[in-house]
Structure 1
Amino acid sequence: MGAFRIDGVTALVTGGSSGIGAAAARQLAGAGATVFLAGRDATRLTELADRIGGTAIIGDLTEPAGAADLAERVLTEAGRVDVLVNNAGQGWAGPLTGMTEPEIARMVALNLTAPILLTRAVLPGMLARGRGHLGFVGSIAGRLGVREEAVYSGTKAGLSVFADSLRHETAGHGIVVTELVPAVVDTAFFVRRGRPYDRRSPRPVPAERASAALLTAMFAGRPEAYLPNWLRLPVAIRSTLPHTYRTLSRRWG
């Protein structure tokens, strides 16, 4: 975040009990924001909220009314949301045929549907005030696709296109829409998805660095932030030379 000050701003961070979400909550609070942290881990969420002077909201965004309940709670208590960080998400590694229908439904609900619904809930106020920041934690998997992570990749691709479409829709209204496109972040994500990260490259980066990259890009008005920045190269190759990209991808995985 550097020297940014956002005193008086109300921020909502999903997935705020650990990883990128917890780091974002700490950094936003340190910059002067009033922070609402949403998540399912009541103990960790409450402890962090107490440390940063924020408000913990326990809930499950995979439930049908989860996003609506969260938005209503924050808007009722704070009256506004100036910054929304859509961070909550989950992964799953393995063949598509190994996923159950409920597992697929929960992943789509958390990774894609919930961010859409939360954005829809806070956007009217942002448009009325003529300013607002919407942040989305995407993934390189949503730009390139990853073997045996088809559903996860699909949800992140959908999130990326949603953010891009929303950016067009809100152009000229003072709304900044920013997507973080990371490769590997050092969090519990890989433990929870059922398969550890075993590649030598790219190297995992700390959650604090990932969060800082997203927030810095958001408050600088940038549409996206790649982490590391060289990820732009394979994305560009896939876009301009798809056959070459797929040949290389099959060879190197």
Structure 2
Amino acid sequence: MSGQHADADGLRLLVVGASSGIGHAVAVAAGARGAKVAVAARRIDLLTKLADDIGGSAFELDVEDTGAIKRVLDAAADTLGGLDAVVFTSTVVPFAHIEDTDVATWVHAFSVNTLGANNVLRAALPHLSENGVVLVASSNDVGRPRAGVAAYDASKAALDEILRSWRSEHPELSIIRVGMGPTKDTEILRGADRDLLAQLFESWTEHGQLPAQMSALRDVANTLVSLITATHANPTVVPEVVQLAPRIKKLVD
């Protein structure tokens, strides 16, 4: 490999939430660009295939299990010989009107999206190299919530505040918060009620919250890897908050 395609050469990277969607795509992109990659998520069958495809290592992990997080982070760091970068993309998006969102749903969303990210960062801390980078996937909807995803939006808003606290107490860390925009080919709608989704799509369209086009998954993944490699290579600068949004191209007749 040469040029930009080898810019992650030797980078020791752990992707948490890599069984599908953005996490999976980041692992593939990083591996193609020369990184040594470990992947973690609940669906170990999908992870094992991914690890085989990219020459990486797979670890089964439920980020709601705090004890398992430390064990997996320790094992991944041992396998890779340390961590130069950690990417957290594990996310749950419960679709429900706010009055129908029960306590268990709120707790689950915060346990994965908020506390899961925080606990992965805690467990990664002793293993990060001097110029180590942590990239956490958030949402570009924070502060402008759309109907039907209150638990998701609130959990990501809380995550933003937690990351601010990390930066305040650990200014030496490179922590990148990325607000993810609408992206094709993810599993965000997996298991959702189709009748409810039809109602929500109507609401999002009415309020101008559906883009004409979505970002390509591969482009999003390569952008995230580029953020990591640039930050790792330039340790006096941190792109603390990055927002990704679809680039809407005009259709040619």
Q: How does 1:86-235 map to 2 (within 5 A)?
A: 86-126=88-128, 129-171=129-171, 173=172, 175-186=173-184, 187-194=186-193, 195=197, 198=201, 199=205, 200-221=210-231, 222-228=239-245
Displacement after TM superposition at 1:69 (Å): 2.8
| TM-score, normalising length: structure 2 | 0.79
Q: 1:182, 1:228 within 8 Å by CA — same for their partners in 2?
A: yes
Residue in 2 that maps onto 1:236? none
Structure 1 unpaired stretches of 5+ = 231-253
Larger mean Cα displacement after TM superposition, 59-68 or 197-206: 197-206
Residues 39/165 of structure 1: CA separation in 2 closer, same or farther (3 Å cut):
same
Residues 143/69 of structure 1: CA separation in 2 closer, same or farther (3 Å cut):
farther
Displacement after TM superposition at 1:95 (Å): 1.7
SS in 2 for 1:203: coil
| TM-score, normalising length: structure 1 | 0.79
CA distance in structure 2 between the aligned counterparts of 1:214 and 1:73, rounded to whole angstroms: 24
Letter in 2 for 1:23: A
Residues 155/202 of structure 1: CA separation in 2 closer, same or farther (3 Å cut):
farther
Residue in 2 that maps onto 1:246? none
Residues 73/228 of structure 1: CA separation in 2 closer, same or farther (3 Å cut):
same
CA distance in structure 2 between the aligned counterparts of 1:104 and 1:208, rounded to whole angstroms: 31
Larger mean Cα displacement after TM superposition, 20-29 or 145-154: 145-154
SS in 1 for 2:83: coil
Q: 1:91, 1:192 within 8 Å by CA — same for their partners in 2?
A: no
Letter in 1 for 2:158: G
CA distance in structure 2 between the aligned counterparts of 1:144 and 1:4, rounded to whole angstroms: 38
Q: 2:10, 2:34 within 8 Å by CA — same for their partners in 1?
A: yes
Residues 43/35 of structure 1: CA separation in 2 closer, same or farther (3 Å cut):
same
Displacement after TM superposition at 1:179 (Å): 1.8
Letter in 1 for 2:149: E
CA distance in structure 2 between the aligned counterparts of 1:36 and 1:228, rounded to whole angstroms: 27
CA distance in structure 1 between the aligned counterparts of 2:130 and 2:246, rounded to whole angstroms: 31
CA distance in structure 2 between the aligned counterparts of 1:201 and 1:6, rounded to whole angstroms: 32
Bigger proportion of residues as helix: 1
Q: 2:90, 2:112 within 8 Å by CA — same for their partners in 1?
A: yes
CA distance in structure 1 between the aligned counterparts of 2:89 and 2:25, rounded to whole angstroms: 11
CA distance in structure 1 between the aligned counterparts of 2:192 and 2:227, rounded to whole angstroms: 28
Q: Could you list the per-position Cα deviations for residues 22-44 of structure 1 after superposition, in whole angstroms to 9, with x for gaps in the alignment?
A: 11001111222211111122222
CA distance in structure 2 between the aligned counterparts of 1:3 and 1:162, rounded to whole angstroms: 34
CA distance in structure 2 between the aligned counterparts of 1:80 and 1:21, rounded to whole angstroms: 20
Letter in 1 for 2:218: E
Displacement after TM superposition at 1:145 (Å): 2.1
Displacement after TM superposition at 1:76 (Å): 3.5
Residues 205/93 of structure 1: CA separation in 2 closer, same or farther (3 Å cut):
same
SS in 1 for 2:136: strand
Q: 1:179, 1:214 within 8 Å by CA — same for their partners in 2?
A: no
Q: 2:7, 2:229 within 8 Å by CA — same for their partners in 1?
A: no
Identity of aligned residues (%): 22
CA RMSD of aligned residues (A): 2.4
Displacement after TM superposition at 1:92 (Å): 1.1
Structure 2 unpaired stretches of 5+ = 232-238, 248-253
Residue in 1 that maps onto 2:62? 60
